[in-house]
Amino acid sequence: MSMTTTRPPAGGGEIEIAIGGMTCASCANRIERKLNKLDGVTATVNYATEKAKVVYGGDVSPEDLVAEVEKAGYTAELPAVRQEEEARDERDELAPLRQRLITSIVLSVPVVAMAMIPALQFEYWQWLSLTLAAPVVVYGGWPFHRAAWTNLRHGTATMDTLVSLGTLAAFGWSLWALFLGTAGTPGMTHGFEFALARGDGAGNIYLEAAAGVIAFILAGRYFEARSKRRAGAALRALLSMGAKEVTLASGELVPVERLKTGDRFLVRPGEKIATDGVVEEGSSAVDASMLTGESVPVEVRPGDAVVGATVNAGGRLVVRATRVGSDTQLAQMARLVEEAQNGKAQVQRLADRISGIFVPIVIALSLATLGFWLGTGDGTAAAFTAAVAVLIIACPCALGLATPTALMVGTGRGAQLGILIKGPEVLESTRRIDTIVLDKTGTVTSGTMTLKDVFTAEGEDREEVLRLAGALESASEHPIARAVARAAGSTAAVEDFANVEGLGVQGVVDGHAVLVGRPQLLAEWSQHLPADLERELTGAQARGETAVAVGWDGRARAVLTVADVVKPTSAEAVAALRGLGLRPVLLTGDNEKVAGQVADAVGIEEVVADVLPADKVEVVKRLQAEGRTVAMVGDGVNDAAALAQADLGMAMGTGTDVAIEASDLTLVRGDLLVAADAIRLSRRTLGTIKGNLFWAFAYNVAALPLAAMGLLTPMIAGAAMAFSSVFVVSNSLRLRRFR
C-alpha cells in the first residue's frame, strides 16, 4: 500500500489509526476500551476495516494513542490524512495465511481420516497421526497461541484464547494418553463414536480434533479475509480511479500531484480528466459513469464544469483546474465512503458489548461443562470432549462482522451507483421516514433556464429564427439569453450589440437589425405581435413560463418561451418514492401557479409554495410536529438548514458544497430517481445487518447447548464456528448485486 500522510494535529483533533494483529471482534472491543480509558479520548475500532477513528484532547498525543494500542499487544500506524491508497496485491497479502492453511490441510486430512475410518488404522497408526498433527498444532496454530499468550500477559481473553486452549488441551491430552496411558499400545483402534466413550479416557486420543479444528478455523480466517477484501473493493476502486499523469497545455507531461489550481491541461479523446475543472476550449462527450452510475455521456463545451476521473469520450479539450488533491469530488467521495465504513450503527454497539464479555463467559461455561460431566460419572473422555467443544464452538467473530461487512459492501455499492451514505446511523433513518420533501428548483426541475418552445409567425422559418436570435443572445450574460443561445448554437457574428435596460437586447446579425426581448421593445420599433403570437405569449405567462419576442427588419417574427423544465426522470422518481411508502411534498419559493404546474407534471399532490429560503426549515419542523418522519431533498445553500433539520437529508451532488455537507446522503448524479435507489439500498443494507446479527446470535444460542450436552465433537464445532463467520460475510456480499 502507498499513501501520502501528514503529521497528525497537535493539541487535540481527530485521526485514523491503522491497526494490525486483530483476529476477532473481541480484539477490537479490547482496543476500543483501552483507548477510551485515556482522558479526553473517544475511539471507535472497526474489526472489518482494521481501523480506529479517534477523537482526542489536548493532553493526549497521537503517539500516546499508538503506544496504548501497542501495549495491548497490537500494531498501530498513524496515516493522519490519507490522500491516496493503491490497491494491494491480494496474493501477497494473503500468501502467509494461505501457506499456513495449505500445510495444515495436507497434514490434517490423513490424521482425521485415520481417526474416523477404522479400516485405515494399521498397527502404529496413532504414532503417524502424532507425527502429522504436531506441525499443524505448532505451526498452523501459532497465530492463535501467540495471540493467546499476548492476551494472557495483559490479563484478557479473546477468540484466539478459546482456540488455543481447546487445541492445546486436545493435543496435550493425546500426548498423555500416548506416552503415559494406553493409547500408544499396538493395534489401538477407535471410530467416530469415541468422543462419547465411557471410562478414564487413557486410551483415547484427540489429535484429529486438535489438527482438524486448526485447519477449519484457518480456512474460515482465509475466506473471511478474502471476503472482507472483496467487501472493501468498491472503495479501493474509487481511490484508484483518478488519472496518474496529466499533459499541461504547454505539452509537458507531469504527475497529477504537480497540478495546481488554475493550471490549464489537455484531455485527449479516451483519456481521463485529471482533476475537477472548467472547459476552456473544445467540446466533447464526457463519460461520468464511474462516478455517477449514469451510463449516458454528458455533452460539454466551453464554460461547462467537468469532474476528475471521468473519461473524455469525444473531442480534444483544454481544461482549467479548479480543485486539486483532497478537494476534488473524487477525494471527497472516497472520504465520505471511508468515514461511513468506519462508523458503527446502534445495533452493532449492542453486539460489541455482548462479544466483549463473551469469551470469559465461554471459558466459565467450558469449566462448568467439564465439572458437570465428571460429576455424572460418564468418564473423563466424555467430559473433556464436551468442554473442548464448548471452547471452540463459541465464536464471537460472526457478531463482530455482522454490521461492518454489510456496511462496507452497502456503502461501496452505493458509491458505484452515485450514492454516498455518510454513516451507519443514516440506515436507521431510512427505515423510519414516511414523508419526503422535494425542493423544486434543481431537484425536481433542472435548476437552469431552458428554451422550451418556439412559436413562429405565419411563413417564418423556425431554424432562421433560432439562428438570428441565438446569435444576438450569445452576446448577453442574462440567464434567459444563455438558455436561448445554448439551444440555438449559432456562430453568426453580432455587430452594434446593445442591452436595453429592462426590455431586452438589439444588434445586427448578418445584415438584419434583430430585436429580442419584451413586446414593448419591439413595439418601440413599430414591430407589433400578430394575434396568434400574442395568444401564445399570454398562455406561456399564464403557465408560469418566461416569454420573449423576436423581430427583425420591421416585423415581429416569433415568441420564444423559456422555463426551468422538469427533469425527465422526476415523474418516475416520484412514483418510485410512493412505491416505497413515502408521501411526497413539493417545496418551492415560486408562486402557486408555477408550483402547481410542476406538481401536476410529476404527480405530487401536496405543495408548499411562496416559501422564503429562510422559512424552509420551518416547513420541515411543522411536518415533524404533525408526527411525520421527514426526509428532505435539496441542492442549494438555502436548503442546508432544512437538510440538517430533516430526519434524513439528501443533497443532489450537482448542488452546493454547503448543502452536501449538511446532508446525510449525497446523490452524486443529481437525478431524483437516485433518491429512491438510495432509500432502497439503505433499507436493504440495514436488513442485511439485522439478518446477520440474527443468524450470529442464533448460531451461538443453538450451538453452545449442543456442545455442552456432548453432542458435538471439537472438530465439528470448529467447522461450524468457521462457517458462521464466512456465512455472515458472504451474506453481506450479496449487496454487491444491488441494482
Q: Is 315 helix (H, G, I), strand (E, B) or coil?
A: coil
CA distance 578 to 604: 10
Cα angle for residues 617, 621, 626 (degrees, 5° grid): 150
Q: Which of 369, 413, 401, 371 is nearest to 387 (CA)?
A: 369
8 Å CB contact between 682 and 421: yes
Beta bridge partners of 248: 265
Q: What is the DSSP letter of 509?
A: E
Active-site residue, selected from the candidate residues 263, 287, 439, 564: 439
Straight-line distance from the first to the last Cα atom of the chain, in angstroms, rounded to the nearest whole number: 31
8 Å CB contact between 161 and 363: yes
Burial bucket for residue 639 (CB in 10 Å: 0-12, 13-18, 19+): buried
Please provide residue 500's backbone torsions phi and psi, each rounded to the nearest 5 degrees. Answer: -95, 110
Amino acid at 571: A
Burial bucket for residue 116 (CB in 10 Å: 0-12, 13-18, 19+): middle
The enclosing H or E element of 100 equals helix 90-116
Residue for cell digits 440567464?
Answer: 479
Strand-strand pairing, 648-652 and 630-634 = parallel
Q: Which of 538, 654, 722, 586 is nearest to 291 (CA)?
A: 654
Residue for cell digits 464445532?
Answer: 717
Query: Which stretches within 377-478 are classed as H helix?
Result: 380-393, 397-416, 425-432, 462-473
CA 347 to chain CA centroid, nearest Å: 18
Beta bridge partners of 508: 495, 513
590 tagged catalytic: no
Neighbouring C-alpha atoms within 13 Å toward the C-beta of 35? 32
What the block records as the C-alpha cell of 140 is 498452523
Any idea how long the chain is?
739
8 Å CB contact between 139 and 153: no
Q: Is 594 helix (H, G, I), strand (E, B) or coil?
A: helix
Q: Which of 706, 712, 715, 709 is nearest to 372 (CA)?
A: 709
CA 611 to chain CA centroid, nearest Å: 34
What the block records as the C-alpha cell of 13 is 483533533
| Rg of the Cα atoms in the chain | 34
Q: Is 716 helix (H, G, I), strand (E, B) or coil?
A: helix
CA distance 500 to 115: 99
CA distance 55 to 342: 13
What the block records as the C-alpha cell of 378 is 460418564
- Active site residues per annotation: 439
